[in-house]
Amino acid sequence: MANKNIRSLSSRKELDDNLFENIADLSHKNASKPEFQELAKRFLIDDSVITGTASFYDFTRESNRNKKIHVCSGTACMVANTQKNLHENLENHFDKEEIGHAACVGRCHTNNAFMYNENTYSAHDENELHTIINNKKHQENKYNIGCNTTPILTSEIEDIAAFYKLAEVYKNNPQKVIQEIKASNLRGRGGAGFPFWFKLDAVIKEPFDSAQDNTQKYIVCNADEGDPGAYSDMYLMEHQPHKVLFGMYLSGLTVGADTGVLYIRGEYPDSIKIVGEAISALKEKNLIGNFKFKIIRGQGSYVCGEETALLNSIEGLRPEVRVRPPYPTQYGLYGKPTVLSNVETFANIHWILENGGAAYAALGTKQSAGTKLVSLDSFFNSPGMYEIEMGTSLKTVFDEFGQGLKSEIKAFQIGGPLGGIVPFDKINGLTLDFESLNSKGFLLGHASVVSIPKDFPMVQFLEHLMEFTADESCGKCYPCRIGSHRGMEMLQKAQHEDYKIDRQLFDDLLETLEIGSLCALGGGIPLPIKNALQYFEEELKQYFTTN
């Protein structure tokens, strides 16, 4: 109820004078308490709302306001073991207190990554670092790009005006759009694989009713790509922004929404810039009529990728996960019906409407149609971003596109921190689609691949996952808020003290997280941990009691 009231107050100014952006601006300016109080007054809300929000995020929290540089603490940089050296080199240039962290900056293909002065960089040695710090020049984030089928996401757009012309064909025909998207069997690419047509249909069915203040619908693009190891949404925003924007625009025309919001993670400054330029080009060329785009910059939080936390974040509230139902299609941004989907999901729409849903469904497998972008990390000889037809064997992806591995790898974490830990010898039997990975107890997720080297202790990897969950938990439900900390502590003690983890207690903790958590952060973290306990029992048994 309290959130509903705050929502209705904050929504009076909505996106034009956005509360979250105001809080972030004041935090970055290291504003005084009275300035924050003034903002609360202007929005007719209590100071505590603003404190609750500002204290949540890595980049707005008071204790981080003096940080000048953020070292990547993502999984891919961790297993590559590059960050300790980078940190030591950085201490030649900055005071220790000026060095903060960022959860992943999308340089998983080369590591040694950090964010500085509105740019991301990789510095492989002190010389390179010295040049970066002194010159502050932009460093291109370069990686291999390839495709093993009809390119849908990786094809070039030759003429932007001609590209947007397709909207003319569909703009007064929402049912035709639904028909094609349904025939395509496009499923959400953000992880859960939910049919996209269903969201459009559900939002169309929400009535406009001015008497009840139901005059607005929204399109929201989830560009928070928080999974360490994943940089496919970053690729789309930086190389294919018009595919994403067109998908949002067309969705807006279909459901009757005149505003599209892109929530882009702050760790991707180039994406924010390039998408912003693409929006300006659209306005200049007058290609989208009255449709408005708004970019909201994330402030460093993984859980904001969860769709309802993301909506609360845009509204300037503390980004706690909302209880569902109601779903965003009924009660989304500022309580209005909202189509919220992932960057890659939106990026498929132009191709589907241009070539027909059936042509899209003919690619991939029956249940997993189309293509999927796969991010390969720096352990591959040819790391990069590959558009792969669903149903392709993972071995083909790793051998033909990744060109094999640079060193001995014992497992891969596929699909982000909540994705499965797949032992090296299980790759042969798997194909790139939702069903194959699910059926073997793993996940497709967002299809990022992080390699776990043979000599990287699995217990340390599990500790990293629990620590990540503890750091990123929104705190709304206690299994995750408390359980992730207890799990992390057990794994730490088992490595550094004379202590063995009670296996029954640990299994109970995983079960509580799995069934008692409100969202898939707490609910999903047991999956990779259980995979590791199953497949790396020999290595892990020394840390557990034998009951």
Only one of the segments 13-21, 192-200, 413-421, 515-523 lies at the binding site for ligand SF4 (rule: CB under 6 A); that segment is: 515-523
Among 74, 188, 384, 419, binds ligand FMN (CB under 6 A): 188
Chain centroid to Cα 363, Å, comes to: 25
433 binds, among ligand FMN, ligand SF4, none (CB under 5 to 8 A by kind): none
Tell the smallest beta-carbon distance from residue 340 to ligand FMN (Å): 6
Tokens of 447: 């299809």
**Is residue 299 a contact residue for ligand FMN (CB under 6 A)?**
no
| Contact region with ligand FMN (CB under 6 A), list: 99-107, 481-489, 497-505, 514-522 | 514-522
Shortest Å, Cβ 229 to ligand FMN = 12
Give yes or no for a contact between 108 and 228, defined as CB atoms under 8 angstroms apart.
yes
- Nearer to ligand FMN (CB atom), residue 306 or residue 320: 306
Q: Among ligand FMN, ligand SF4, none, what binds residue 341 when CB lies within 5 to 8 Å by partner kind?
A: ligand FMN
Write down the residue that tokens 């969860």 correspond to: 306
Binds ligand FMN (CB under 6 A): choice among 21, 201, 225, 320: 225
Query: E strands of 127-179, at which residues?
Result: 144-147
Q: For ligand FMN, which residue of 27, 75, 345, 348 counts as binding (CB under 6 A)?
A: 345
519 binds ligand SF4 per the rule CB under 6 A: yes
* Minimal distance, residue 234 CB to ligand SF4, in Å: 23
Residue with token string 């929400």:
206
* Residues 324, 518 contacting (CB under 8 angstroms): no
One-letter amino acid at 494 equals A
Q: DSSP 3-state assignment of 117?
A: coil
φ, ψ (nearest 5 deg) of residue 536: -120, 35
Closer of 251 and 512 to ligand FMN (Cβ)? 251
| Shortest spacing between CB 303 and ligand SF4, in angstroms | 5
Q: Which is nearer to ligand FMN, 222 or 271 (CB)?
A: 222
Among ligand FMN, ligand SF4, none, residue 480 binds (CB under 5-8 Å by kind): ligand SF4
CB of 87 to ligand FMN, least distance (A): 26
Please report whether residue 518 would count as binding ligand SF4 according to CB under 6 A. yes
CB of 514 to ligand SF4, least distance (A): 10
Among 100, 226, 247, 364, binds ligand FMN (CB under 6 A): 226
Q: Which does 345 bind (CB under 5 to 8 A by kind): ligand SF4, ligand FMN, none?
A: ligand FMN
Alpha helices in 390-446 (DSSP H): 394-396, 434-439
DSSP 8-class letter at 119: E
When binding is defined by CB under 6 A, the residue of 353, 494, 521, 540 that contacts ligand SF4 is 521
* Contact partner, 147, from ligand FMN, ligand SF4, none, Cβ < 5-8 Å per class: none
Q: Among ligand SF4, ligand FMN, none, what does residue 349 contact (CB within 5–8 Å per kind)? A: none
Cβ proximity of 145 and 317 under 8 Å: no
SS3 of 50-63: the string is HHHHHCCCCCCCHH
The answer to whether 303 contacts ligand SF4 (rule: CB under 6 A) is yes
Do 132 and 385 form a contact (C-beta atoms < 8 A)?
Answer: no
Using CB under 6 A, which of the segments 162-170, 241-249, 284-292, 519-527 binds ligand FMN? 519-527
Instruction: State residue 388 phi and psi, 5-degree precision.
Output: -120, 135
Cα-Cα-Cα-Cα dihedral sign, residues 485, 487, 493, 498: positive
Q: What is the DSSP string of 509-529?
A: HHHHHHHH-SSHHHHHTHHHH
Q: Which of 372, 337, 326 is nearest to 255 (CA)?
A: 337
User: Considering beta carbons, is residue 22 or 473 the nearer one to ligand SF4?
Assistant: 473
DSSP 59: T
Which amino acid belongs to residue 406? K
What string of DSSP letters covers 180-239? HHHHHT-B-TTTT--BHHHHHHHHHHSPPBGGGTB---EEEEEE---STT--HHHHHHHH
Does 224 contact ligand FMN by CB under 6 A?
A: yes
369 pairs with which residues across the strands?
364
Judged by CB, which is closer to ligand FMN: 309, or 532? 309
**What is the residue whose two structure tokens read 């640079």?**
406
Q: Which does 190 bind (CB under 5 to 8 A by kind): ligand FMN, ligand SF4, none?
A: ligand FMN
Give the count of residues interacting with ligand SF4 (CB under 6 A).
14
Closest CA to 263 of 275, 249, 253, 252: 275
Pairing of strands 371-376, 448-453: parallel
Rounded CA-CA distance 482/500 in Å is: 20
One of 74, 100, 106, 191 touching ligand FMN (CB under 6 A): 191
Under the binding rule (CB under 6 A), the answer on residue 341 touching ligand FMN is yes
Residue 515: contacted member of ligand SF4, ligand FMN, none (CB under 5 to 8 Å, by partner type): none
Q: Whose Cβ is closer to ligand FMN: residue 224's or residue 387's?
A: 224
Number of H helices, E strands in the chain: 25, 14
* Residue 473 binds ligand SF4 (CB under 6 A): yes
Q: By CB under 6 A, is residue 194 in contact with ligand FMN?
A: yes
If the CB atoms of residues 262 and 474 are measured against ligand SF4, the closer one turns out to be 474
CB of 310 to ligand SF4, least distance (A): 12
Residue 426 and residue 440 in contact, taking contact as beta carbons nearer than 8 Å? yes
Q: How many Cβ atoms from other residues are within 10 Å of residue 493's Cβ?
A: 14
Residue 470 to residue 465: CA distance in whole angstroms: 9
Instruction: Figure out which of the listed residues 204, 223, 244, 321 binds ligand SF4, where binding follows CB under 6 A.
Output: 321
Q: What is the DSSP letter of 397?
A: I
Kindly report the length of the chain.
Answer: 547
**Nearest approach, Cβ of residue 230 and ligand FMN (Å):** 8
* Site residues (vs ligand FMN, CB under 6 A): 188-192, 194, 222, 224-226, 303, 305-307, 340-342, 345, 519-521
| Interface ranges with ligand SF4 (CB under 6 A) | 303, 321, 473-477, 480-481, 517-519, 521-522
